[in-house]
Amino acid sequence: ETGVTQTPRHLVMGMTNKKSLKCEQHLGHNAMYWYKQSAKKPLELMFVYSLEERVENNSVPSRFSPECPNSSHLFLHLHTLQPEDSALYLCASSQLTGTSASDTQYFGPGTRLTVL
Amino acid sequence: AQKVTQAQTEISVVEKEDVTLDCVYETRDTTYYLFWYKQPPSGELVFLIRRNSFDEQNEISGRYSWNFQKSTSSFNFTITASQVVDSAVYFCALSERYNNNDMRFGAGTRLTVKP
C-alpha cells in the first residue's frame, strides 16, 4: 500500500447507527486531517492531529468523534448522524517540520457517506 | 482570514484546446503558500503544485503551467493541448505561514474535456 488509504470507500447508514471511518497513511508523516466535502461547498477542515494530539477542531458537532491511536492511523467515529451529514469525507496527511513552512497535504480517495 | 476564489464553476473545452483556470486569493500574511489539486471522479485529491509567496517564477511541468502574480493576487493554472484525462475538478488552496494547519480551498472548477 502506498500513499493514503481510506476504508470503506462507500457507506450507507441510518441515523441511529454507529460506524467508523478509517484512514491509514504510508508516507511516514506526523500529521493527519479529516475534511468534509459536501455538494456545492468548499472543502471544510474538521480535525487536525499533530503527533497524535488533536490540535484543531473546527466546531464540529459531537456526533463526529475522531481518534488517532498512532501517527499512521486516523479514525472518525460516527453516531446519530443527520441526512445533511451525507458527504465525501477525505483524510489527508502531511509532515510538519516544526518550522513555519507550510507542508503539503496528501489526500486519500475519500469515503462517500450517505445518511438515510 | 485567508480566502480563495475560483470564479469559474465549470469549463468545457474540446480536446487539444488550451485552458486556463483562474485562482484569486486574499491574505494579510506576507508569507503564504499556494497549492493546486486535481480531483478526478475517483474522489482523491491529487497534489499538483505548491508555491511559496517569495517565489514568483512561473512553473511549467509538461502540459501544465502556473502563473503566479502577487500584484493581482492570482495563481492561475493553464493546461496546454488538453486531453480527456484532464477532466476533473481542480482546486486552488492557500495556507498562511503561522496557520498552516488551516488550508483554505476554493470552490473548485470542473473541467470537462470533450473528445
Query: Any idea what the Cα angle at residue A73 is, between residues B48 and A17, rounded to 5°?
Result: 105
Q: Which of A103, A32, A41, A89 is nearest to B106 (CA)?
A: A41
How far is the alpha carbon of B36 from chain A, nearest alpha carbon, in Å? Answer: 10
CB contact under 8 A, A100 and B32: no
Give the model's pLDDT for residue A102: 56
CB contact under 8 A, A100 and B31: yes
Q: For chain A, say whether B72 makes contact (Cβ under 8 Å).
A: no
Identify whether the C-beta of residue A81 lies closer than 8 Å to the C-beta of residue A114: no
Query: In this complex, which of B44, B97, B103 lies closest to A105 when CB atoms are compared?
Result: B103
CB contact under 8 A, B107 and A42: yes
More confident residue, A101 or B14: B14
Q: How many CB atoms lie within 10 A of CB A57?
A: 13
CB contact under 8 A, A102 and B32: yes
Give the model's pLDDT for residue A56: 73
Give the model's pLDDT for residue A97: 72
Identify whether the C-beta of residue A111 lies closer than 8 Å to the C-beta of residue A21: yes
Per-residue pLDDT tens digits for A49-97 = 987 777 777 789 999 999 999 999 999 999 999 999 999 999 999 987 7
Q: Is the pLDDT of residue A101 over 60?
A: no
- SS3 state of residue A85: helix
Per-residue pLDDT tens digits for B33-67 = 999 999 998 889 999 999 989 888 888 899 999 99
The region of weakest confidence among A30-39, A47-56, B21-30 is A47-56
Query: In this complex, which of A33, A42, A55 lies closest to B105 when CB atoms are compared?
Result: A42
- Pairing mode of beta strands B64-69, B59-61: antiparallel
- Which residues in chain B are contacts of A112 at CB distance < 8 A? 43
